[in-house]
């Protein structure tokens, strides 16, 4: 990383970074101006999707999680150049942040092209898991949307099986085009573009958080 990039990162990142999980008792309070809802992206990579969503939805507060500094630096550059005000960043394991979020505090969650950990002995590292889905079911509001995507066929089957098995989420698909075609309000990521260059087909899964029985 060049010196100028390091300086920009050191200047701007503290302003948009979530350093203490104690601040998550009210996620909407993380933002300088009032927001109508809070959306979460787990593993934003280079931040292309996160930045595009934030620009398209200025009334929404966005929390992005990404443990790799190069991806965080790329997003910070975009935030600075486009003057994006409604993004906050957690640069560690997303699972820790999700566990700290209040119940029913997230209206939409994105997990797009996560590491598939293809070897069987590494499957326990997959972010889409029964434990993570338990926590997402808790923190997501009734009717909230969970969006998953991957070009890795085994991981797609894994995500679909575990999310449907969980029971808190309803799959929105009514036909093959619903999982073969990226919705118009779903900006692409560079991982998706790389998959297309390799000739791989991406799959898009949308789920709705079912209404709780105690509502």
What is the rounded CA–CA span in Å between residue 130 and residue 178?
A: 24
What is the rounded CA–CA span in Å between residue 98 and residue 86?
A: 19
What is the rounded CA–CA span in Å between residue 21 and residue 51?
A: 23
Give residue 27's region: left, alpha or beta (phi > 0; psi -120 to 50): alpha
The catalytic residue among 19, 26, 93, 115 is: 115
Is the Cα dihedral 130, 100, 76, 141 positive or negative? positive
- Does the active-site annotation cover 115? yes
Q: How far is CA 189 from the centre of its chain?
A: 12
What is the rounded CA–CA span in Å between residue 74 and residue 81?
A: 11
What is the rounded CA–CA span in Å between residue 102 and residue 68?
A: 25
Q: What amino acid positions are annotated as catalytic residues?
A: 115
């Amino acid at each position: 990383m060049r010196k100028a990039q390091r300086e920009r990162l050191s200047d701007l990142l503290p302003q948009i970074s979530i350093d203490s999980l104690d601040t998550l008792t009210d996620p909407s309070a993380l933002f300088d101006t009032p927001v109508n809802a809070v959306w979460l992206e787990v593993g934003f990579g280079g931040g292309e999707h996160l930045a595009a969503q934030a620009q398209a939805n200025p009334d929404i507060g966005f929390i992005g999680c990404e443990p790799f500094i190069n991806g965080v630096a790329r997003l910070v550059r975009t935030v600075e150049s486009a003057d994006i005000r409604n993004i906050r960043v957690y640069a560690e394991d997303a699972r820790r942040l999700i566990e700290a979020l209040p119940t029913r505090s997230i209206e939409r969650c994105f997990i797009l092209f996560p590491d598939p950990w293809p070897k069987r002995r590494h499957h326990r590292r997959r972010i889409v898991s029964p434990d993570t889905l338990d926590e997402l079911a808790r923190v997501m509001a009734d009717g909230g949307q969970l969006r998953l995507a991957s070009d890795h066929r085994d991981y797609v089957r894994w995500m679909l099986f575990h999310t449907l098995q969980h029971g808190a989420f309803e799959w929105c698909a009514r036909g093959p085009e619903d999982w073969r075609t990226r919705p118009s309000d779903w900006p692409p990521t560079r991982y998706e573009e790389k998959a297309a260059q390799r000739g791989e087909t991406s799959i898009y899964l949308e789920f709705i958080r079912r209404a709780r029985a105690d509502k």
